[in-house]
Amino acid sequence: MAFSSNYVTCAGREIHYTEWGAQHERTVIAWHGLARTGRDMDELAQSLSDRYRVICPDTLGRGYSQWSPDPGNEYRLEFYARLAADLFDQLQIQRAHWVGTSMGGAVGLVCASGLFQPGLKDRIQSLVLNDSAPRLAAAAVQRIREYAGNPPTFATMAELEAFYRRVYKPFGWLTNAQWRRLTETSMRRLPDGRVTPHYDPAMVRQFIDHPHDYELWEHYDVLQAPVLLLRGAESDLVLADAAAEMLERGPGRRGMARVVEVPGCGHAPALNVPDQLDLVRSFIEASERWT
């Protein structure tokens, strides 16, 4: 099924997104991870687009979205929530399910809590956190910060693809075609002709200027939406004790949270194979009966 490529102004910044299943009223927001782009969500969006309108944004500073002119203040969850609130309004989305990988899950969490954007609290029907939790392992955060803050450059696309295959091996199994698409949809060519990952390196200012940005228990504890955590069984970012705590607090305490470990993956499952896609779809459909 085809998708469209679109641009919209949110909080004064140009944001790119792809849209699948535009004919449907029920909506899913699919938000990518820290150094990635919305095209990571192609398989998920295609699988859901028979029944749902699926919106896959590029976060500010990633993919085809504008780079921030004020990185110290705008590369942070609070501003991303502002972008999301404007996105809902610009696209006339009344309510939506949210599927977020890593950072995208954190964005969904702070949106659904309503602490940054009160108007979004009742507009997020369910929340799928793909290897994203209110507490992250410090060593893994440091690892991600180091590689994301210093994107390498390569002479050829083949070299860039080899880099992606090594760095994103924890995503799990991808076909050769999926690795090629991942490479092509997350690269930019520099003035000297070399290629590099397609994001603003300054986005790691989030970890410098806002070192506690991903400490999110305050947001999680007030959630009213049902939550599904997909934890990569080998994840070094979302540890088993954090996942267990999610079942004891907030929506977990109210019986509205579920944790599923995804075998063969670390940080983070690529959401590209039937088992993973079926988990997301069945959770979304079940949550529509709860809300």
Structural domain contains residue 68: yes
Q: Per the domain annotation, does 202 fall within a domain?
A: no
Q: Is residue 100 part of a domain?
A: yes
50 lies in some domain: yes
Query: Does residue 192 carry a pLDDT above 90?
Result: yes
Nearest residue to 167 via CA among 34, 10, 7: 34
Q: How much is the average pLDDT of 111-138?
A: 97
Mean pLDDT of 163-182: 97
CATH of the domain at 23: 3.40.50.1820
pLDDT confidence band for 146 (50 / 70 / 90) = confident
Task: Check: CB of residue 6 under 8 Å from CB of residue 17.
Answer: yes
Across all residues in the chain, what is the average pLDDT?
Answer: 97
What is the C-alpha to C-alpha distance for residues 201 and 253, in angstroms, rounded to an integer? 39
Q: Is 153 among the domain residues?
A: no
pLDDT at 144: 87
pTM of the model: 0.97
- Whether the per-residue pLDDT at 124 is higher than 90: the answer is yes
260 falls within a domain? yes
* pLDDT digits 0-9 by tens, 214-223: 999 999 999 9
pLDDT digits (tens, 9 = 90+) for 241-260: 999 999 999 999 999 999 99
What value does the mean pLDDT take over residues 91-117?
98
133 in a structural domain: yes
pLDDT at 289: 78
Question: Total structural domains in the chain?
Answer: 1
pLDDT surpassing 90 at residue 149: no
**Domain housing 246:** 3-138+211-290
What pLDDT score was predicted for residue 291? 57
Tens digit of each residue's pLDDT (9 = 90 or more) over 265-290: 999 999 999 999 999 999 999 998 76
Q: What is the pLDDT of residues 53-103, one digit of tens each?
A: 999 999 999 999 999 999 999 999 999 999 999 999 999 999 999 999 999
Whether 53 is in a domain gets the answer: yes
Angle between helices 77-90 and 103-113 (to 10 degrees): 70
Question: Looking at the predicted structure, is the pLDDT value of residue 1 above 70?
Answer: no
**Which residue has 């200012």 as its token pair?**
205
Amino acid at site 283 = F
